[in-house]
Amino acid sequence: MKRYDVIVIGGGPAGLFSAGVAARQGASVLLLEKNPRCGAKILITGKGRCNVTHSENDPRKFAEHFGRNGRALLTALYTFGVEDVVAFFEERDVPLKIERGGRIFPEFGEARDVQRALESFVRDAGVEVRTSCEVKNLLIDDGLVKAVETRVGNFATGNVVLATGGLSYPETGCTGDGYAWAKSCDHQLVTPEPALVSVKLRENWTADASHFNLKNVRITLRADGKKVDERFGEAFFTHSGIGGPIILDMSSHIRDALKQGEVRLFLDFKPAVASDLFDKRLQRELAEHSNRAFGNSLGKLLPRDMIPVFVRLVGIDPKKKCHSVTRVERQRLLKLFKELELEVTGCEGFRRAIITSGGISLKDIDMRSMRSKRIANLFFAGEIIDLDGPTGGFNLQECWSTGYLAGINAARRQEG
């Protein structure tokens, strides 16, 4: 049986990166991926453009975005941070640029270019890549992983990096396999939950409004009437509810609030204008179109496709002349613009979750090396770890940083 210094399981961003880094240290490295090609999930990141990282390059501030567990990321971020990622991709002809909200994307290319750059990185570093090769188990003896069992036979190894991801978007290959192996050798698992998800609404009209982005809106989350969260930015209606960056980033609060009771969202389409001023604006619009049908008067205030939805929700006859719209009707219209009330009935599941929260407990990983505290030659990288960040490139940066640390340390362990 051929023996490798390092076997990396999972060819996502974390696995590809740690395999290349370990091989560059001189280790013999085998990367095992169950899909026919590595990086299936990379292709769907950032709506096909891949939000590679985020411009916050102070590791402490970056780590704060990961909440309570964020501090554990500091060594990884100081070792391989945002600037290192930018340099890595620029060296491979994928220059990056900062976009709105500090999100960093390929300047010219798309997610496919990121996938190709990683594939050529592992190839040039001399990693042996086996795709369509599903790992079935880790063979452990005397407190060490001795071999990896696959459908096509066993591979002996000195070290293993587990980078099998979480449970989200299972069609990309993420079925939580690594959790079971880690659990079977005494690692604690923090219950995996779908995170960064769209939410379902009681309202049955959202499909009609799902064609366009709601830019620069404010959404307030209230649980049993109490304000829990409020965010400003981009969202969009979906067939069964509402999604988009601000909803995804609120979704963990929404999930928690749903466990307690009634949850409502209040959408302000015009957050930059106070209610009384916006009421004056409505009065001006109605006066300007005084002899027009109400249904044709909202063109300056709303995207065209949204107008029929608004007209239906406000309950004003669209044929009614604007000069006949009553004060009470105008107040209803004002409320729709400034405080559209939406009742949340649930959150989407793993099938459409951007990431998985929970995972291998940080208590069982030495986060300065990514090495298991239970099995001396086992390392972890990427989404499999109990770390979850918001949208904006934070989660991929976690993969690059933890992948780097795991790869370096797995390779060094065999040297020493």
List of residues contacting ligand FAD (CB under 6 A)? 9-15, 32-35, 40-41, 44-46, 50-51, 134-135, 163-165, 168-169, 173-174, 177, 354-355, 382-383, 393-396, 399
In contact, 44 and 151? CB cutoff 8 Å: no
Strands 371-372 and 365-366: what pairing? antiparallel
Shortest separation between residue 393's beta carbon and ligand FAD, angstroms: 5
Nearer to ligand FAD, 29 or 40 (CB): 40
| Nearest alpha-carbon partner for 375 in 366, 367, 383, 388 | 366
Nearer to ligand FAD, 50 or 217 (CB): 50
Nearer to ligand FAD, 34 or 338 (CB): 34
Query: What is the rounded distance in angstroms from the CA atom of residue 175 to the CA atom of residue 77?
Result: 27
The DSSP H or E segment spanning 251 is: helix 245-260
Nearer to ligand FAD, 168 or 297 (CB): 168
Query: What is the rounded distance in angstroms from the CA atom of residue 74 to the CA atom of residue 81?
Result: 9
Counts of helices then strands in the chain (DSSP H, E): 11, 20
Shortest separation between residue 329's beta carbon and ligand FAD, angstroms: 41
Query: What is the rounded distance in angstroms from the CA atom of residue 370 to the CA atom of residue 386?
Result: 12
Burial class (CB in 10 A: 0-12, 13-18, 19+), 271: middle
Query: What is the rounded distance in angstroms from the CA atom of residue 53 to the CA atom of residue 63?
Result: 13
And the tokens for 151? 């459908």
Nearer to ligand FAD, 39 or 158 (CB): 39
Shortest separation between residue 399's beta carbon and ligand FAD, angstroms: 5
Nearer to ligand FAD, 96 or 314 (CB): 96
For 28, 142, 267, the CA distances from 412, given in Å and listed in that order, are 12, 21, 53
Looking only at Cα atoms, what is the longest distance across the chain? 86
Shortest separation between residue 288's beta carbon and ligand FAD, angstroms: 43
Shortest separation between residue 381's beta carbon and ligand FAD, angstroms: 7
Shortest separation between residue 294's beta carbon and ligand FAD, angstroms: 40
Angle at which helices 327-339 and 275-288 cross, to 10°: 130
Query: What is the rounded distance in angstroms from the CA atom of residue 350 to the CA atom of residue 167?
Result: 6
Nearer to ligand FAD, 17 or 310 (CB): 17
Shortest separation between residue 208's beta carbon and ligand FAD, angstroms: 24
Shortest separation between residue 292's beta carbon and ligand FAD, angstroms: 43
Query: What is the rounded distance in angstroms from the CA atom of residue 309 to the CA atom of residue 293?
Result: 16
Nearer to ligand FAD, 24 or 54 (CB): 54
Query: What is the rounded distance in angstroms from the CA atom of residue 86 to the CA atom of residue 96?
Result: 6
For 29, 69, 77, 245, the CA distances from 126, given in Å and listed in that order, are 8, 34, 26, 38
Nearer to ligand FAD, 158 or 359 (CB): 359
Nearer to ligand FAD, 113 or 268 (CB): 113
Shortest separation between residue 220's beta carbon and ligand FAD, angstroms: 26
Name the phi and psi angles at 266, rounded to 5.
-120, 120
Torsion sign, CA atoms 212, 220, 352, 177: positive
H-assigned helices in 106-176: 111-125
Shortest separation between residue 316's beta carbon and ligand FAD, angstroms: 39
